[in-house]
Amino acid sequence: MAAAVQAQVQFQLTHEVSIKVPVRGNNFVRAREDAVSQAFRSALEQSLRSWMGDEKFAANKKEMAGILAQADRYVQSYRFIEAVDDPIEKTSAVVLEVTVFPDALGKSLNQAGVAMGSEGVRNVVILISEKSITSGEPGSFWDTMPISEASLVQRFAEAGVNVIPRDPISQAVSEETVMNAVNGDMRDAVQIGLKTGADIVILGNAVSNSLKDSRDAGKTTVQTNLSVRVISALRSTIIAAKSDFATSGSNDLLAGELEAFGDVSQKISDFLLSSINGYWEARPSKHEANHEISQPSASPLPLGDL
């Protein structure tokens, strides 16, 4: 299952872009604007290549010329990492972090005759913070995959949903960001989606407890609790939230915990899949469709504001 998930294509939404342009007529302001414009185009091209691959990108470059020429229409947000105007070399250089709108981009590609499907990005991230009675003291969040998270990933993969694996997520997102998001920080939750190319981010907390069975001294009842939130990274909204629990009795503590986590994950996943499919099938409102291709509200920052 893990190998199959790893093989699925991911669409990278956020890119760090470096651009340097010559200054003409000592007009550094115009040069900065040109550098930002080229950075937008570069980020959009990188996103397209990550989506369709280099070969398909090259084959459809003519059809995409109009889209690339209006790259700023597909920029959701950007921020300056660095900006340097060199009066001696007469150059202006910028380093930007640029995030694109995948849904609007997908629609424009379809209109241009580039077959990318009409459903846009349908990648999911699942990250659960788990306290397990059999795993000992918790280490780094990325050290091991929680039982509940593995169960949810399996359920989603079996349903045909593209779940982004942990390895690329850990390379793009810090542990601090994940824990903030798990604990309710919406901004960090959205950033996880944007930085990993996921439309849907599922975050949650899980815990297991052992309860001695007074009727059978050798038997232990394991109770697991799982609470999750489903967040649309593209719309910065909570789609669904649910909490549930399950119990399992066993003479083996680990076996009981695995069964209980599997049961509660099954309960949760059925609800989540229904909610997410409903979200994907719903048509965006006219306002949302217009918003997706709107110009960035922020203008390039002057050098003194960096």
List, for residues 107-138, the tens digit of each pLDDT value: 777 677 775 433 455 789 999 999 988 876 66
* Residue 181 structural domain: 123-281
Q: What is the pLDDT of residue 118?
A: 36
CB atoms within 10 A of CB 208: 27
State the maximum Cα–Cα separation within the chain, in Å, rounded to a whole number: 89
Contacts by 187-195, CB closer than 8 A, 24 or more apart: 189/229, 189/231, 189/233, 190/231, 190/233, 190/236, 192/125, 192/127, 192/233, 193/13, 193/125, 193/231, 193/232, 193/233, 193/234, 194/13, 194/14, 194/76, 194/99, 194/233, 195/13, 195/14
Do 111 and 129 lie in a common domain? no
What pTM was estimated for this model as a whole?
0.60
Domain closes at, from 71, 103, 119: 119
What is the total count of domains within the chain?
Answer: 2
Q: Is the pLDDT of residue 287 over 70?
A: no
Match 């059809």 to its residue by tokens: 63
Q: How confident is the model at residue 218, as a pLDDT?
A: 65
- Residue 227 pLDDT level (bands cut at 50, 70, 90): very high
Are 68 and 194 in a shared domain?
no
pLDDT tens track for 48-57: 887 777 888 8
pLDDT recorded at residue 96: 95
What average pLDDT does range 33-50 have in this prediction?
A: 92
Query: What pLDDT is recorded for position 8?
Result: 37
Residue given tokens 């919406």 in the structure block = 186
Is 290 contained in some domain? no
User: Would 230 be classed as within a structural domain?
Assistant: yes
- Residue 130 and residue 260 in one domain: yes
119, 139, 172: which is the final residue of a domain? Answer: 119
Residue 210: which pLDDT band, with cuts at 50, 70 and 90? confident
CATH for 100 = 3.30.1660.40
Let me know whether 145 and 15 are in one domain.
Answer: no
Asked if 141 and 110 sit in the same domain, the reply is no
What does the pLDDT average to over 240-267?
88
CA-to-CA dists, residue 290 to 36, 43, 74, 187, 239, angstroms: 23, 21, 11, 22, 21
Same domain, residue pair 32 and 160: no
User: Is 292 domain-assigned?
Assistant: no
Check pLDDT > 90 for residue 225.
yes
Q: In the structure encoding, which two tokens stand for residue 35, read together?
A: 């550098």
Share the mean pLDDT of the chain. Answer: 81
**pLDDT greater than 80 at residue 213:** no
The verdict on 90 and 135 lying in the same domain is no
pLDDT at 23 over 90: yes
> Is a pLDDT exceeding 80 seen at residue 284?
no
The DSSP symbol for 196 reads H
Binned at pLDDT 50, 70 and 90, residue 181 comes out as very high
pLDDT at position 236, please? 83
Q: Which two tokens stand for residue 13?
A: 């939404």
pLDDT bracket for residue 298 (50, 70, 90):
very low
Q: Given the DSSP bridges, would you call strands 75-86 and 91-100 parallel, antiparallel or unpaired?
A: antiparallel
Q: Which comes out higher in pLDDT, residue 34 or 74?
A: 34
Task: Please tell me the predicted confidence (pLDDT) of residue 219.
Answer: 74
- Local structure of residue 226 (DSSP, 8 states): E
Q: Is the pLDDT of residue 195 over 90?
A: no
Domain match, 65 and 16 both: yes
Residue 273 lies in a domain: yes
CATH number at residue 234: 3.40.50.10610
Residue that terminates a domain, selected from 90, 119, 148:
119
Catalogue the E-assigned strands of 38-90: 75-86
Beta-bridged to residue 74, according to DSSP, are none
In this prediction, residue 103 carries a pLDDT of 64
pLDDT at 86: 95
Q: Is the pLDDT of residue 272 over 70?
A: yes
Residue 243 tokens read as 């909490």
